[in-house]
């Protein structure tokens, strides 16, 4: 069965319990942080930070009201992820339950997935030469909900079968007079396993509109391994022929 998480920024209070729960479940170290004008802490996702609460200041032009918006950000776990086919060593797996997982032991640090992801999610670490990201708690799901979901005190994150989550998202979108993000805007990626209900434009939250067609760079990287393999085979054949010619020259 396929599962999903509903992300409801209108319910998020910015407490960062999800960030802490993710660190604890994955045994990830804390990071030295500095004050930022955006108040976020840490500033962004990293090799050791799989989920991040973004703070955005929203200004309503009609009422001139200002308000803080908080929301949880991490891998979207796309149904047809651009990162997985871009990986030349098959280090990224999309599971039928929903999670897209980087198998760090297989990662060679080429960063193709970093370039392929339209959301800027995979994080490269120069010390280990590896990439990491949220794995949708594939080592808990479906017996237990993801650690971040379990820790959320306001139900801004809800886990369940994807079909139920879609129904909940539609109902919530009606209540908020908002819309669902993770469907139309990300159509080239087949939808996502983290689905947002937004009561404002995606740009307020800094969410990209991936659009109707996969950008050319993403498309090229997505299928790059199909170019790399023939190139590698061609290179090998050239080397064999070159070596044979050198041996023949020596014998003459
Ligand atoms: S958001 Fe990026 S890293 Fe996550 S599954 Fe989609 S393409 Fe891959
Ligand atoms: S950096 Fe990304 S694409 Fe490259 S090997 Fe690692 S997981 Fe695969
Ligand atoms: S799903 Fe798991 S790995 Fe991903 S952000 Fe939540 S706690 Fe972290």
What are the tokens at 167? 């129904």
Q: What is the rounded CA–CA span in Å between residue 242 and residue 246?
A: 6
* Per-residue pLDDT reduced to its tens digit, 179-209: 898 765 556 567 899 999 998 888 888 887 7
Per-residue tokens: 36? 């930022």
Is residue 89 one of the residues assigned to a domain? Answer: yes
CB 84 within 8 A of CB 93: yes
Check pocket membership of 74 for ligand 3, CB cut-off 6 A: yes
Task: Confirm whether 80 is domain-assigned.
Answer: yes
- What is the percentage of the chain residues whose pLDDT exceeds 70? 81
pLDDT for position 214: 47
Between the CA of 171 and the centroid of ligand 2 the distance, in Å, is 38
102, 121, 228: residue to mutate for ligand 2 pocket, most atoms within 8 A of CB: 102
What CATH code is carried by the domain that includes residue 176? 3.30.70.20
- In sign, the C-alpha dihedral spanning 156, 161, 166, 167 is negative
Residue 153 CA to ligand 2 center (angstroms) comes to 35
Range of the domain at 195: 3-8+74-221
CB atoms within 10 A of CB 105: 7
Name the nearest CA neighbour of 133 among 221, 26, 46.
46
Mean pLDDT of 36-44: 85
Looking at residue 65, the DSSP 8-state letter turns out to be E
Half-sphere exposure of 183 (CA within 13 A, CB side): 17
Q: Which residues line ligand 1 (CB under 6 A)?
A: 75-78, 81-83, 100, 117, 119, 121-122, 133, 189
134 lines ligand 3 (CB under 6 A): yes
**180 inside domain:** yes
Cβ(49) – ligand 3 distance below 6 Å: no
Residue in 171, 139, 175, 146 with CA at minimum distance from that of residue 160: 146
Say if 231 falls within a structural domain.
Answer: no
Task: Return the number of other C-beta atoms located less than 10 Å from residue 49's C-beta.
Answer: 23
CA of 148 to the centre of ligand 3 (A): 6
Mean pLDDT of 34-52: 90
- 39: pLDDT confidence band, cut at 50, 70 and 90? confident
**Bridge partners, 53 (sequence order):** 72
C-alpha–C-alpha distance, residues 170 and 200, integer Å:
15
> Per-residue pLDDT for 25 more than 80?
yes
210 close to ligand 3 (CB < 6 Angstrom)? no
The verdict on the CB of residue 50 being under 6 Å from ligand 3 is yes
Residue 64 included in any domain: no
Q: Distance between CA atoms of 189 and 3, rounded to whole angstroms?
A: 16
The answer to whether residue 117 is domain-embedded is: yes
Residue 42 lies in a domain: no
103 assigned to some structural domain: yes
| Domain total of the chain | 1
Q: In terms of pLDDT, which residue wins out, 49 or 189? A: 49
The pick from 7, 122, 181, 194 for probing ligand 1's pocket by mutation, whose C-beta has the most ligand atoms within 8 angstroms, reads 122
What is the distance in A from the centroid of ligand 2 to the CA of 250? 42
Q: Is the CB of 77 under 6 A from ligand 3?
A: no
């Amino acid at each position: 069965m396929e599962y999903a998480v509903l992300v409801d920024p209108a319910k998020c209070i910015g407490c960062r319990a999800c960030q802490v729960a993710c660190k604890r479940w994955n045994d990830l170290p804390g990071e030295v942080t500095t004050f930022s004008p955006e108040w976020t802490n840490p500033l962004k996702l990293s090799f050791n930070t799989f989920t991040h609460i973004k703070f955005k200041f929203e200004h309503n032009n009609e009422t001139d009201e200002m308000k803080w918006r908080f929301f949880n950000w991490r891998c979207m776990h796309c149904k047809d992820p651009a990162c997985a086919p871009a990986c030349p060593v098959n280090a990224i797996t999309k599971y039928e339950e929903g999670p897209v997982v980087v198998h760090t032991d297989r990662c060679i640090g080429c960063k193709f997935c970093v370039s392929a992801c339209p959301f800027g999610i995979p994080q490269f670490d120069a010390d280990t030469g590896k990439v990491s990201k949220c794995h949708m708690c594939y080592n808990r799901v479906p017996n237990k909900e993801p650690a971040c979901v379990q820790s959320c005190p306001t139900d801004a994150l809800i886990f369940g079968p994807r079909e139920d989550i879609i129904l909940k998202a539609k109902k919530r979108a009606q209540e908020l007079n908002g819309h669902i993000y993770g469907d139309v805007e990300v159509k080239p990626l087949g939808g996502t396993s983290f689905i947002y209900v937004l009561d404002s434009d995606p740009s307020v939250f800094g969410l990209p509109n991936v659009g109707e067609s996969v950008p050319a760079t993403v498309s090229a990287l997505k299928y790059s391994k199909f170019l790399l393999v023939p190139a590698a085979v061609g290179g090998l054949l050239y080397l064999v022929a070159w070596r044979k010619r050198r041996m023949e020259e020596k014998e003459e």
